[in-house]
Chain A
Amino acid sequence: MSDPVIRTHGLTKHYGKSRGIVGLDLEVDPGEIFGYLGPNGAGKTTTIRLLLDLIRPTEGRAEVFGLDSHGGGLAIRHRVGYLPGELRLYGSVSALELFSYFGHLRHRFDPADTARIAEALDLDTTREIRTLSHGNRQKVGLVQALMGRPEIVILDEPTQGLDPFVQQTFYRLLDEVRADGRTVFMSSHVLPEIERTCDRVAIVREGRLLAVERVADLKARAMRRLELRFAAPLPAGSFADVGGVRDVVVDGSTVTCTVAGPVAALFRAASAFDLVDVVSSEPGLEEIFLAYYGDAGDAAA
């Protein structure tokens, strides 16, 4: 196993009296897409800004490529592409001018690669940025983060403001990064996005790391709430003894329940009746924390 690309030791940041993050120990391996999941205010942006040396740790340290985030900051930033969570761009330049500016500051401006990514995202690079919509500005932010093939791409809530179609394009661009063997560290407060894109995920709440999981393991235990609608009312107690199914409520012809893991058993049982419709909803983050990490979560809080 090669050395981690990102490694933090007891990384802690306080803002005055308020908490940023506390005692974070994290390792991100080369070539993986690493998700950083947590509700808003969990300390995701704080962690990312520490990695980029925009802010300095109160205690502990962060290493990127084995270099200290502060002492080796310049060398690190030569190899990083970054999308801030609250993206603010220069209004008076075009996207193309911005890419050229940052490309030259990074000494690795690659107009062809930049144009290719901008085209994939269907971004008009000639317009002044102040005239662009929120979604298009987010695309500008993504292009400047991905252009020039940085060894690690650090993205803070990358899909906010993107429509679903553009999100799919973004996922394809991430697949490209993965195919190159490069590394992605991305934060999100949406579980499905992490499940769609990431190899591993760290889950943070209130400034503390709750768990690091393989996404595949998380999916195997994935919990979803299902609502099954049938043509006719069902007898009370239906599905109560189906494996992996919990919290069954039968209300006339509608059944709601929670399923952990595969849904095959439930659907086999349901096929005995006249099934009309199925509605599936992902549980919210708080519910996941409570379901998976109830005890740890309470301890952290």
Chain B
Amino acid sequence: MQLRSVLGKSIHDQWRAVLAWSLFAAVLPGIYVALYPALGTGSMMGTMQQFIDQMPEAFKALFAATGLDMSTAEGFLNIELFGFVGPLMLLAIGIALGASATAAEEESGTADLLLANPIRRSRVVAEKAAAVVLWTAVVAAAVWVGVSLATLVFGVQLRLDHVAVALVSLALLGIAFGGVALLVGAILARRMAAIAIATMLAVVAYFVNTLAPLVTGMAGWRVVSPFYWYIGNDPLRHGLEPAHVLALVAMAGCCLVAAAVVWERRDIHG
């Protein structure tokens, strides 16, 4: 394969890892969907719903902020996939790749050689960010393929177009935190630090979204969380809310611009 650009080089370096992660990301949600008929037709689901109904509000909130309804496939997926495992899978890929973007070049010492070429540092940041967007979208698409196949095989009633829309929202969440990791990496030139800080922020954002509504006087704070922009509107049932999409895109865009500016200005670690 001929390498011609920073984006091409990123694809060359990362496709194997992304392929492996995509397989995982397709199989796991597929299993959830496959399990649904067994749960839904037996007495199991009724028991689970009873169990859920009896939970304290704070505990329910931890799992999903969109109401806990196990009686439909959508409700089931909202809890099992979009509430926790889905964000985990998409944040993992976004943050891992974002953190590597410029920090890995500096940590491995290849930045000197790369940047001695006639290419702007901001261009390098942009192409590396494009790879983050591309791969996060690929993993989200893999989830959709896994869910779709399982839906067909196990005869589950599920609007696949709605799943796709919800996955767009989820991919944007992964890209937004990928942007945070890329920015931290551009500032510190440390990959592990970028992963740690972006992950910490994601955890905080998760709890702000789920717990803020339960705390008196804190309910309004929910809107500062990217998790709220991702799922607050329940995209699986209601589609995308433009303002929320815009918020996630703006977060990613601001991180990208800030990363480019910071990296243009400072000394490269040699």
* A and B bind: yes
> Which residues of A does B touch, CB under 8 Å?
45, 49, 52-56, 74-75, 77-78, 80, 82, 84, 86-90, 92-93, 97-98, 100-102, 104-107, 141, 144
Interface residues of B in 91-113 (CB under 8 A from A): 108-113
- Min C-beta distance of A190 to chain B, whole Å: 22
Determine if B116 and A77 form an interchain contact, defined as CB atoms under 8 angstroms apart: yes
Chain B residues within 8 Å of chain A by Cβ, number: 25
A80 to B270, CA, bound (A): 19
A56 to B6, CA, bound (A): 24
Determine if B3 and A101 form an interchain contact, defined as CB atoms under 8 angstroms apart: yes
A contact residues around B12 at 8 Å (CB): 92-93
A172 to B270, CA, bound (A): 30
B1 on interface, CB distance cutoff 8 Å:
yes
24 pairs, A vs B, C-beta closer than 8 Å: A49-B270, A52-B115, A52-B116, A54-B268, A55-B267, A75-B118, A82-B113, A84-B116, A84-B270, A86-B270, A88-B108, A88-B110, A88-B113, A89-B110, A90-B9, A90-B13, A93-B12, A97-B1, A100-B4, A101-B4, A102-B113, A104-B2, A105-B5, A107-B118
- Min C-beta distance of A58 to chain B, whole Å: 10
B contact residues around A101 at 8 Å (CB): 3-4, 8-9
> Which residues of B does A touch, CB under 8 Å?
1-6, 8-9, 12-13, 108-113, 115-120, 267-268, 270
Given A98-B3, A106-B117, 4 new contacts (CB under 8 A): A90-B110, A97-B1, A100-B3, A104-B3
Determine if B4 and A49 form an interchain contact, defined as CB atoms under 8 angstroms apart: no
Known: A54-B267, A54-B268, A86-B109. A80 touches B3 (CB 8 A): no
B contact residues around A141 at 8 Å (CB): 113
Determine if B4 and A104 form an interchain contact, defined as CB atoms under 8 angstroms apart: yes
Closest to A97 in B: B3
B contact residues around A54 at 8 Å (CB): 111-112, 115-116, 267-268, 270
Number of A-B contacts (CB under 8 A): 80
Determine if A74 and B113 form an interchain contact, defined as CB atoms under 8 angstroms apart: no
Q: Which 4 A-B pairs have the closest CB atoms?
A: A88-B109, A101-B3, A55-B267, A82-B116
- Min C-beta distance of A145 to chain B, whole Å: 9
Determine if B108 and A102 form an interchain contact, defined as CB atoms under 8 angstroms apart: no
A contact residues around B111 at 8 Å (CB): 54
Closest to A81 in B: B116
Determine if B109 and A74 form an interchain contact, defined as CB atoms under 8 angstroms apart: no
- Min C-beta distance of B68 to chain A, whole Å: 46
- Min C-beta distance of A127 to chain B, whole Å: 16
A92 to B110, CA, bound (A): 12
B contact residues around A104 at 8 Å (CB): 2-5
A55 to B119, CA, bound (A): 15
Q: Which of A45, A90, A97, A107 has the most chain B CB atoms inside 10 A of its CB? A: A90
Closest to A90 in B: B110
Determine if A49 and B3 form an interchain contact, defined as CB atoms under 8 angstroms apart: no
- Min C-beta distance of B51 to chain A, whole Å: 50
A189 to B252, CA, bound (A): 47
Residue in A55, A84, A105 whose beta carbon sits within 8 Å of that of B117 in the complex:
A105
Determine if B113 and A77 form an interchain contact, defined as CB atoms under 8 angstroms apart: no
Residue in A78, A89, A97 whose beta carbon sits within 8 Å of that of B2 in the complex:
A97
A220 to B212, CA, bound (A): 82
A270 to B119, CA, bound (A): 62
Closest to A76 in B: B118
Q: Which of B2, B5, B6, B120 has the most chain A CB atoms inside 10 A of its CB? A: B2
A104 to B8, CA, bound (A): 11
A contact residues around B113 at 8 Å (CB): 82, 84, 87-89, 102, 141, 144
A141 to B110, CA, bound (A): 11
Determine if A56 and B267 form an interchain contact, defined as CB atoms under 8 angstroms apart: yes
Known: A54-B112, A84-B112, A93-B12. A77 touches B2 (CB 8 A): no
Determine if B13 and A55 form an interchain contact, defined as CB atoms under 8 angstroms apart: no
A137 to B109, CA, bound (A): 14
A contact residues around B1 at 8 Å (CB): 97
B contact residues around A88 at 8 Å (CB): 108-110, 112-113
